[in-house]
Amino acid sequence: MLVQQILFVIILAATGYVVWRRARGIARNIRMGQGELQTDRPGERLRNMLLVAFGQKKMFKRPWPAILHFFVYIGFLVINIEILEFIVDGIAGTHRIFAPYLGGLYPVLMNIFEFLAVAVLASCAIFLLRRNVAKVRRFWSREMTAWPRLDANLILTAEILLMIAILTMNAADQWLQVRTPEKYPASGTLFFSSMLMPLFNEMSTAALVVTERVAWWFHILGILGFAIYITYSKHLHIVLAFPNTYFAPLKPRGQMKNIEVVTNEVRAMLGLGDAPQTGAPGRFGAKDVNDLSRISLLSAYACTECGRCTDECPANITGKALSPRKIMMDTRDRMEDISRSLAKGGPGLDDGKSLFGDYITREEINACTACQACVEACPVMINPLEIILDIRRYIAMEESGAPAAWNAMFQNIENNFAPWKFPPSDRFNWANEGSRTQ
């Protein structure tokens, strides 16, 4: 037992260290972005987080996947309470340490955990079928290349295996409770795993002990491995959905963020204010991830690639290159590429590449209708439009590279105060034309 205890503590500490290092790296990447994460109006932010992340409010716009997802989510939250017992047992070398203390409550809790385990198992199996057999469109669009598809399948398979481990462990344990009750405290009858008991009927007590231990270790190692894996995966949304909904901008949806430097300059130009302070104004708009706001970068890590944004994007629906999900995936990939480069002593941001150009193309950016369907669709309040508009600002103001038709429109506004080529003196003509046409 002592060997197992030492091993457990070492593995637990190592996992903690790896996860901490990854978390630090991700935080560093997010801090590449502009400005601070906003914390004003904490009441509203807390409300958003509770309703949208904790309460899954926006998921329920599509009820069926929402119900299945809700099982996996609740299962994950609740079964993790059991992990607490696993950890205490693992360190102290005890077995089901909470059973004697909780008395009659323990079997109730265990049965709830088992019910959720079965619900998670079934939901994940249906999710696998939806992805791989029913081939729901949003899981197969262009940006869903080999890795994103594998990532999703790995997660779902891992969850199924972890749930099977819990049920196997409990089934073996219930036999051991019968055969050596002095070592295995009674957990009471567990509805689901007791149905598996006949499978282990023929096993010797020694084999049962091994089965129970293997299942226990498989489950806890699986959970710890999962904790490391999600930091490299789209699945990080299980953690970052919470801060993302908390820090999501509270400004009106129709308001683009103001560029103060431009306001000062325009006011000075129009003789309405003092000349702007000299000094580098920085870059207008975004060419690379470090030009984006921190909330956009946090959002990129919070995205789980569900593709509801892309599914509702009018440009994507009609076959254009734009996919709002890809915008978020590219942003995360760019950050990860930068930190990988830095870890190897490479140039990082200065590798001659940039988010716009090497990851996201002009065609994608130019296809957006700013209709906010993606913003509305996201279950965790990610705003892909913000990134698109930031890049448009870079293209128009730093590169003067907007499409020719837009440059003509700019010129019309500048000269005629209207996006079309009509003289401003004709602006009131509609009033006189009325009597003629009617």
Partner 1 sequence: MAELAAQGRSPEVLFWVGCAGSFDDRSKRVTRAFVKILQSLKIDFAVLGTEEACTGDPARRAGNEFLFQVQAINNIQVLNGYNIKRMVTTCPHCFNTIKNEYPQLGGNYAVEHHSTFLQRLIDEGRIVLKEGGTFKGRRITYHDSCYLGRVNGVYEAPRAVLAALDADLVEMKRSRAKGLCCGAGGAQMFKEPEPGKKDINVERTDEALNTNADTIAVACPFCMTMMRDGVKAREKESEVAVKDIAELIAERQGL
Per-residue contact track with partner 1, 198 to 237, x per CB under 8 A?
Answer: ----------------------------------------
Q: In terms of CB distance, is 201 or 437 closer to partner 1? A: 437
CA 292 to chain CA centroid, Å, is 18
Q: In terms of CB distance, is 143 or 265 closer to partner 1? A: 265
Q: Considering only 119-127, 293-301, 339-347, 408-416, which stretch makes contact with partner 1 by CB under 8 A?
A: 408-416
Q: What is the 3-state secondary structure (H, E, C) of the chain?
A: CHHHHHHHHHHHHHHHHHHHHHHHHHHHHHCCCECCCCCCCHHHHHHHHHHHHHCCHHHHHCHHHHHHHHHHHHHHHHHHHHHHHHHHHHHHCCCCCHHHHHCCHHHHHHHHHHHHHHHHHHHHHHHHHHHHCCCCHHHCCCCCCHHHHHHHHHHHHHHHHHHHHHHHHHHHHHHHHHHCCCCCCCCCCCHHHHCCHHHHCCCCHHHHHHHHHHHHHHHHHHHHHHHHHHCCCHHHHHHHHHHHHHHCCCCCCCCCCCCHHHHHHHHHHCCCCCCCCCCCCCCCCCCCHHHCEHHHHHHHHHCCCCCHHHHHCHHHHCCCCCCHHHHHHHHHHHHHHHHHHHHCCCCHHHCCCCHHHHHECHHHHHCCCCCCHHHHHCCCCCCHHHHHHHHHHHHHHHCCCCCHHHHHHHHHHHHHCCCCCCCHHHCCCHHHHHHHHC
> Of 143, 164, 265, 283, which one interacts with partner 1 (CB under 8 A)?
265
Site for partner 1 (CB under 8 A): how many residues? 70
Report, in Å, the least distance between residue 53 CB and partner 1.
19
Report, in Å, the least distance between residue 118 CB and partner 1.
34
- Phi and psi at residue 34, to the nearest 5°: -85, 145
64 binds partner 1 (CB under 8 A): no
347 binds partner 1 (CB under 8 A): no
Report, in Å, the least distance between residue 323 CB and partner 1.
12
424 binds partner 1 (CB under 8 A): yes
370 binds partner 1 (CB under 8 A): yes
Report, in Å, the least distance between residue 414 CB and partner 1.
6
- From the list 224, 236, 268, the residue with the least C-alpha distance to 30 is 236
- Which residues from 67-126 bind partner 1, rule CB under 8 A? none
275 binds partner 1 (CB under 8 A): no
409 binds partner 1 (CB under 8 A): yes
Report, in Å, the least distance between residue 141 CB and partner 1.
13
Q: In terms of CB distance, is 202 or 414 closer to partner 1? A: 414
Per-residue contact track with partner 1, 308 to 337, x per CB under 8 A?
Answer: ----x-xx-xxxxxx---------------
Report, in Å, the least distance between residue 284 CB and partner 1.
7
381 binds partner 1 (CB under 8 A): no
389 binds partner 1 (CB under 8 A): yes
> Of 272, 275, 350, 357, which one interacts with partner 1 (CB under 8 A)?
272
> Distance between CA 294 and CA 31 in Å, rounded?
6
Report, in Å, the least distance between residue 63 CB and partner 1.
14
Q: Considering only 127-135, 191-199, 224-232, 420-428, which stretch makes contact with partner 1 by CB under 8 A?
A: 420-428
Report, in Å, the least distance between residue 304 CB and partner 1.
21
> Distance between CA 349 and CA 344 in Å, rounded?
13
> Of 104, 198, 254, 352, which one interacts with partner 1 (CB under 8 A)?
254
> Of 195, 263, 275, 346, which one interacts with partner 1 (CB under 8 A)?
263
CA 9 to chain CA centroid, Å, is 30
> Distance between CA 318 and CA 305 in Å, rounded?
20
Interface residue list for partner 1 (CB under 8 A): 252-256, 258-259, 262-263, 265-267, 269-270, 272, 284-285, 312, 314-315, 317-322, 363, 366-373, 375-376, 389, 392-397, 402-403, 405-406, 408-410, 413-414, 417-420, 422, 424-431, 433-434, 437-438
